[in-house]
């Protein structure tokens, strides 16, 4: 029986979003398997959930070719450490959460050691390099995908796959009502609130926060009544954002540990691309998406990526419902103009709100973390 036997599950999460997903999944897994222990690589959320995180992922939470090369030695050391843990602890199951290339190498090694592998969050084979499906299929026992359209790619190659739902649907729930949150953050309910979401990685902060602040300063000239709030990601230290905030005279409210309460207070948001844009969509807040990488990473992406959008709300909607400012188009003037339109052009705002409602409906009901735990239990029981 699953409840009677002791199991060791190993998690590998390399970024802030993966850290949260793994933590939520482990909490669900413990409900079904009280004797389960978890080890591996992750961050604060996993530690809070009870995972023995022997390798901290904060130093390797980077995106882009140039960024990966800069941190290559740390990434290589983390991979070596994770392989050693597989050999020493012999886990019953390895659960790789996102962080694709690193986790593929780890999965391939684990498979050779006879360890079952559950991969959570598929690489974006629908965007580029669909041939990776076969490569991943040889290294895993099950691929858990978070978008319903992804299963077809794995079914076509006879790779075991399960749609578990998007984890953000589970977790994007404010703790307070909007009225209470506005009071809590000392915001004036009669004045519009603009949210700044510059990302959960330091490289994103460096590239996006200065232009977001400059856009806010432009808006403040024409709309002095606006208020500004920034939910600081748990993965970002105070010293990572303080130098940028020191450059502006605007009163920017910085709030920690309450991202969804902050977002629901906003009337419009400027956000980094990625999971954050989907969370804003789930909370039904009009937004503009900004995306900027090193020039070399961007050029390589232009050559490889075959889809017309980079923002998850647009990808799910299969059309451009949210304006994307990419690379050279990321400038304060364009950003301020789009926020102005979202706040004060009523028909434009309403059109986006209706489209965001359809995105939320497409993602379906909650239950992703529980579905993942169910999958893990099946693999643990499988001989």
What is d(CA 55, CA 340) in angstroms, rounded to the nearest whole number?
Answer: 44
Q: Which of 247, 249, 257, 283 is nearest to 268 (CA)?
A: 283
Topology of domain 7-165+367-381, CATH: Rossmann fold (3.40.50)
**C-alpha angle 238-26-104 in degrees, rounded to nearest 5:** 80
Q: 7-165+367-381 with 178-363: one CATH topology?
A: yes
pLDDT at 254: 95
At residue 1, the pLDDT reads 47
Q: How far is CA 161 from CA 115, 137, 145, in A?
A: 18, 9, 7
Q: Are 104 and 90 in contact (CB under 8 A)?
A: no
How many CA atoms lie less than 13 Å away from 56 in the CB half-sphere?
A: 4
What 3 state SS string does the chain have? CCCCCCEEEEEEECCHHHHHHHHHHHHHHHHHCCCEEEEEEECHHHHHHCCEEEEECHHHCCCCHHHHHHCHHHHHHHHHHHHHHHHHHCCCEEEEECCHHHHHHHHHHHHHCCCEEEEECCCCCCCCCCCHHHHHHHHCCEEEECCHHHHHHHHCCCCCEEECCCHHHHHCCCCCCHHHHHHHCCCCCCCCEEEEECCCCHHHHHHHHHHHHHHHHHHHHHCCCCEEEEEECCCCCHHHHHHHHCCCCCCEEEEECCHHHHHHCCCEEEEECCHHHHHHHHCCCCEEEEECCCHHHHHHHHHHCCCCCCCHHHHHHCCCCCCEEEHHHCCHHHHHHHHHHHHHCHHHHHHHHHHHHHHHHHHCCCCHHHHHHHHHHHHHHCC
Residues of the chain with pLDDT under 50: 1
- The domains of the chain are located at 7-165+367-381, 178-363
Give pLDDT, residue 27: 95
Overall size of the chain counted in residues: 383
**317 vs 315: CA distance, rounded Å:** 5
CA-nearest of 57, 40, 155 to 94 is 40
Question: What's the pLDDT score for residue 218?
Answer: 97
Please answer whether residues 249 and 240 qualify as being in contact, where contact means their C-beta atoms are separated by less than 8 angstroms. Answer: no
CA torsion sign for 63, 66, 67, 70 is positive
Q: Which fold does the domain 178-363 belong to in CATH?
A: Rossmann fold (3.40.50)
Report how far Cα 376 is from the mean position of its chain's Cα atoms.
21
> Tell me: the pLDDT tens digits for 205-236?
999 999 999 999 999 999 999 999 999 998 88
């Amino acid at each position: 029986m699953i409840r009677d036997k002791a199991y060791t599950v190993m998690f590998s999460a390399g970024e802030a979003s993966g850290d949260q997903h793994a933590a939520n999944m482990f909490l669900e897994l413990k409900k079904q398997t009280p004797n389960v222990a978890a080890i591996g690589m992750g961050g604060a959320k996993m530690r809070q959930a009870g995972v023995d995180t022997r390798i901290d992922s904060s130093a390797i939470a980077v995106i882009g070719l140039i960024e990966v090369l800069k941190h290559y030695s740390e990434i290589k050391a983390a991979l070596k450490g994770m392989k050693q843990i597989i050999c020493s602890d012999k886990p019953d199951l390895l659960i790789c959460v996102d962080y694709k290339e690193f986790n593929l190498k780890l999965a391939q090694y684990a498979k050779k050691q006879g360890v079952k592998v559950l991969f959570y969050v598929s690489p974006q084979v629908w965007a580029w390099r669909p041939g990776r499906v076969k490569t991943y299929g040889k290294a895993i026992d099950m691929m858990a995908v978070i978008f319903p359209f992804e299963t077809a790619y794995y079914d076509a190659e006879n790779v075991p796959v399960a749609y578990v739902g998007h984890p953000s649907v589970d977790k994007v729930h404010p703790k307070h009502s909007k009225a209470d949150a506005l009071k809590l953050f000392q915001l004036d309910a009669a004045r519009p609130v603009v949210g700044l979401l510059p990302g959960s990685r330091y490289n994103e902060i460096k590239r996006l926060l200065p232009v977001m602040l400059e856009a806010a300063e432009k808006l403040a000239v024409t709309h002095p009544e606006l208020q500004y709030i920034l939910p600081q990601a748990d993965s970002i230290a105070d010293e990572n954002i303080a130098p940028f905030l020191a450059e502006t005279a605007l009163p920017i409210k910085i709030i920690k540990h309450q991202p969804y309460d902050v977002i629901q207070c906003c009337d419009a948001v400027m956000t980094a691309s990625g999971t954050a844009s989907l969370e804003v969509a789930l909370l039904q807040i009009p937004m503009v998406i900004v995306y900027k990488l090193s020039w070399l990473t961007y050029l390589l992406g232009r050559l490889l990526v075959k889809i017309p959008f980079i923002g998850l709300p647009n990808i799910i909607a299969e059309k451009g419902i949210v304006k994307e400012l990419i690379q050279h188009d990321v400038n304060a003037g364009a950003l301020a103009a789009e926020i102005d339109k979202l706040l004060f052009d009523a028909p434009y705002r309403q059109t986006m709100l209706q489209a965001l409602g359809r995105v939320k409906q497409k993602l379906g009901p909650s239950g992703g973390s529980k579905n993942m735990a169910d999958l893990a239990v099946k693999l643990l029981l499988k001989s």
